[in-house]
Structure 1
Amino acid sequence: MGILQRYVCGEVFRAFALALLTMTIIFVLFMVAAEALRSRMLAPMDVLNLIPYVIPSTLPYTMPVSLLFAVTVVYGRIAGDNEIIAVKSAGVSVMAVIWPTIFLGAAVSGFLWQTSRTWIPQSAHQAKLVLFKDLEDLIYKYLKRDKEFSAPGMPVFIKVHDVEGRLLIKPTFKKKTKNADNTDSYSETIQADRARLQFDLDNKLVVVHLEGAEVQNHEGDFDVTLLPNQTFEFPLPSNNNAFALKSIQEHTNRELDAELVIAKERLANDRKRQAIGAGFLFASGRFNRVDGVNGVNWGVAGVNWADVGQAANQNSYWRKRCNEFETEKQLRSSMAFGSLLFVILGAPIGIRFAKRDFLSAFMTCFLPIIGLYYPLMLFGINMGKEGTMEPYKALWISNLVLAVLAGWVYPRIIKY
């Protein structure tokens, strides 16, 4: 790499680093503030613990935009200072000034492509787990924010008037029970003036210490009685992170592939399996299942119409899941490759407009490209998730448009 290439690459890299630092700080502050306002559960230490995991999630947005900004500003300035004309007057092609930055764009794209498959989704999930690392603290946070708490697999619904530290004010505990149709109902309600929760993690139990408690049984005569020993206990959910399940964006590519295999298998076979089974039973005259009458169990198999209907309904669900998984995979690759295309298009556009000052380069080069690329990206995401277009086509529309524009502008810049 010659002196000219090192000079241009150094200018672009300095502008890129400064823009990336600035945009990352803004994005992190915005995302942490948004999460704090949304959840209302973040203590100051939670915010500090959250920041290292939020930063990777911003990189697919901040790195390409920072690189485009650096390229348009630097190439606009050197063109405005007639340095490009000086290069061409010396018999050197303008591509000698551009190709070092293209390599930088390729390096950024490669970095984003690899990290968006593993590190970034893992960090996004770890950011969520900052709120879920301590089950006891989490339950108190939910009670303080929502005044109620119920988790999957938890046999008690808790509602409070207020929370003061670790003290529940005017709590209500409703014990759940399973009905024959697998729905939940409440078998008992306990009300108290105050309560404290004691977590026995070794035995996976929560012991509730009550003050001024009374209990009402919903299965008998509904009489209200005083709770004799002012304590009761209930088991913790078997999966403490049932409320911290991964979203699609938090899956690594390997996990997305595994989920995609399951979704495609269910999509291909569930409905077909139920239809074939129902067809055989229907053909043999067993239209409905007969369990027996008057206590006699005949056990005659028949068409389970509920399962047939559920399989038909689930078909659209699994199709949607396939589209969402495939869209997420294509989105990661498309956004990573966008960094390279930002450089390929941004450099000649910056040279063509030759704006020396920052504001002019920002308005004439940076904003039009951003205003074209990201709306097309959002359009592709919606089409991919809805199944209107195959995700591998929909998510690359924006990159294809930038590539076409670059192919149109380069001959004019080379002749410039």
Structure 2
Amino acid sequence: MKLLQRYILGELIRVFGLLVVVLTIMLVFVGLFREATERGLGPVQILQIMPFVVPSMLPFTIPATLLLSVCVVYGRISADLEVIAAKAAGISAMRMLAPAFLFGTVLAVASFGLTNYAIPWAVANIERIVTQAVEDIFIDMLRTQHLVSEPSRGYSITVHDVQNRTLIDATFRFRTHDHHQITVRAEAARIHFDLERQQIELKLRNATYSNPGADSFGDWDGTVLHLPLPPQIHATKARHLTVADLTEKTKEAVLQDEIGQIQQANEAAMLMLTGDFHQFGGKEYSQLKGANAEAVRNQRRFKTEIHSRVAMAFSCLFFTLVGGPFSMLQARRQFITSFIMCFLPILLIYYPVMFLMVNLCKSGTLDPTWSMWVPNGILLIAGAMTLRKVMQH
């Protein structure tokens, strides 16, 4: 790498490092405020999740920060007539832009790595801390108030005492799927929060159950009772999974879709054979259709997430392709002006098109394999046109 290219690359790294730290700190506070508001976290939990919020913010700050860095560096050297001097010395504009393209490629790979590995790791740790916080609040309420009631979740827990994670003389009341009221009384119950399955596990000891509506009762000693988690704990979203996990879940959704289609076809054939045509609108057939539709939605959602993750990570390279030539063409020391003039069309065109492609892919209208690259294609065309002007003049 030539001396001038090393100088430009060094300036890009220096400016980018400073800007990304400032912007990330600002967004970290926004992220912490959002997490604290949504989940009701206290100061201790906020401090605990702070190290994990940083890698979650970086993939969103890197592209815009890189564009700003490119505008700063190339706008300054162009305003100082260094571009003209370099051209007079036989150095082409493409060679001067090569450090930006190299840096953009490296950051694209790094951004994908952060999205694919750092964010799932960070989210898992945040959920672990939140789960621990919710569990502590849950246990404290049972210890002090001897009662936890979740009407929206359809259950309540009453205890005489709490020793560590064991509920003493506990009574559980909950509704089943067919709206029967079940009452369980246990001498002791060990409580555990299962985040993956989104449920509370209660291992009962010396327990009995009763169902007043059905006039039934029995022994539930050793039974593990499952209750839904409180609403503060969120289910894992597709963007919080690695590509390997998304690929595996896509295969599972495809298998569920195939099984669902077979079951639906068999059920339809049976109804037609027996002449029960009115059952096509019945509950059982509707459930089969709903499960099949859910499997198809999951397939589209997971595939879209995989391709959008790669496309958005490599937007760093396309941002430099637009920002570098544009800043050289403008030749302004006021880098903010160049940045706004460059970023505003991206904000008004690139991101709306990206969101549109995501929605169309999730609905099954378009194939995410190519459609998620349409926004980057727009940047490629704009960057190529700007670069052509720089090369000519």
Whether TM-score is above 0.5 comes out as yes
- Contact kept? 1:139, 1:149, Cα under 8 Å: no
Pick aligned residue for 1:219 from 198, 212, 236: 212
Q: For residue 181 of structure 2, what is the aligned residue in structure 1? A: 186
Structure 1 pair 258–138 and aligned structure 2 pair: CA distance change class (3 A) = farther
Instruction: Write the deviation string for residues 271-318 of structure 1: whole angstroms up to 9, x where unpaired.
Output: 2333135425743x4859xxxxxxxxxxxxx99964333222322222
Matched to 2:212, the amino acid is: E
2:27 corresponding residue in structure 1 = 27
Match of 2:174, SS?
strand
Moved more, 93-102 or 363-372: 363-372
Letter in 2 for 1:70: S
Distance 1:2 1:199, change over 3 A: farther
How much does 1:110 deviate?
Answer: 1.2
Alignment CA distance shift 1:4-1:403 (3 Å): same
1:360-399 → structure 2 map (5 Å cutoff): 360-399=337-376
Q: Structure 1 pair 369/313, CA: closer, same or farther in 2 (3 Å)?
A: closer
1:303-382 aligned at under 5 Å gives the runs 306-382=283-359
Q: Residues 371 and 148 of structure 1: is their aligned pair in 2 closer, same or farther, counting only changes over 3 Å?
A: farther
- Paired residue type of 1:94: A
Q: Indicate conservation of the 8 Å contact 1:206/1:235, yes or no.
A: yes
Looking at structure 2, the residues matched to 119 and 363 of structure 1 have their Cα atoms a distance apart, in angstroms, of: 30
Contact 1:281–1:303 (CA under 8 A) maintained in structure 2: yes
Q: Which amino acid in the other structure matches residue 60 of structure 1?
A: P
Q: 1:394 to 1:15 in 2, by over 3 A?
A: same
Distance, in Å, in 1 between the alignment partners of 2:211 and 2:265 is 43
In structure 1, the partner of 2:98 is 99
Q: For 2:174, which of 160, 173, 176 is the aligned residue?
A: 176
- Decide whether the 8 Å contact of 1:5 with 1:100 is kept in 2: yes
Find out whether 1:37 has 2:37 as its counterpart. Answer: yes
Structure 1 counterpart of 2:18: 18
For this pair of structures, how many residues does the alignment match?
357
Shift of 1:346: 1.0
- 1:135 & 1:89 partners in 2: Cα distance? 67
Q: SS state of the match for residue 175, structure 1?
A: strand
Cα–Cα, structure 1 residues 238 and 218, in superposed 2: closer, same or farther, change >3 Å? closer
**Letter in structure 2 aligned against 1:394:** S
Paired with 1:357 and 1:126, the residues of 2 have a C-alpha distance of 42
Distance 1:141 1:107 in 2: 48
Structure 1 match to 2:258: 268
Tell whether the 8 Å contact from 1:122 to 1:252 is kept in structure 2 after alignment: no
Residue 168 of structure 2 is matched in structure 1 by none
1:60-102 CA distances to partner (integer Å, 9 max, x unpaired)? 2111111111001211111111110111111211122110121
Match in the other structure for 1:226 = none
> Which residue is 1:79 aligned to?
78
| Change beyond 3 A, Cα 1:81–1:366 | farther
For residue 256 of structure 2, what is the amino acid of its counterpart?
R
Q: Structure 2: how far apart are the matches of 1:19 and 1:53?
A: 20
Per the TM alignment, residue 200 of structure 1 is displaced from its structure 2 partner at its CA by: 4.2
- TM-score under structure 2 normalisation? 0.79
Amino acid at match of 2:35: E
Q: Which amino acid aligns with 1:129?
A: R
Distance 1:273 1:206, change over 3 A: closer
Superposed, which structure 2 residues align to 1:50-199 within 5 Å? Answer: 50-133=49-132, 136-139=135-138, 148-149=149-150, 156-157=155-156, 175-178=173-176, 182-187=177-182
CA distance in 1, matches of 2:378, 2:58: 23
Classify 1:415/1:116 alpha carbon distance in 2 versus 1 (closer, same or farther; 3 Å): same
After superposition, the CA RMSD in angstroms is: 3.8
CA contact (8 A) 2:71 2:335 kept: no
Q: Which moved more, 1:111-120 or 1:45-54?
A: 111-120
For 1:392 and 1:123, locate their aligned partners in 2 and report how far apart those are by CA, in whole Å. 27
Structure 2 unmatched ranges of 5 or more? 159-163, 165-170, 193-200, 214-222
Query: Unaligned 5+ residue runs, structure 1?
Result: 160-165, 167-172, 191-197, 208-216, 221-233, 289-301
TM-score (normalised: structure 1): 0.75
Amino acid at match of 1:67: L
The 1:385/1:141 distance shift into structure 2, 3 A limit, reads farther
Inter-CA distance 35–303: structure 2 relative to 1 (3 Å threshold): closer
| Cα shift at 1:325 | 0.7
Judge conservation of contact 1:71–1:343 (CA < 8 Å) in 2. Answer: yes
Shift of residue 31, structure 1, vs aligned partner: 0.9
Q: Per-residue deviation at 1:112?
A: 1.8
Residue 27 of structure 2 aligns with an amino acid whose one-letter code is F
Amino acid of the residue matched to residue 97 of structure 2? I
Q: Take 1:308 and 1:89, find their aligned partners in 2: how far apart are those partners?
A: 76
Which structure dedicates a bigger proportion of its chain to helix?
2
Indicate the structure (1 or 2) with the bigger Cα radius of gyration. Answer: 1
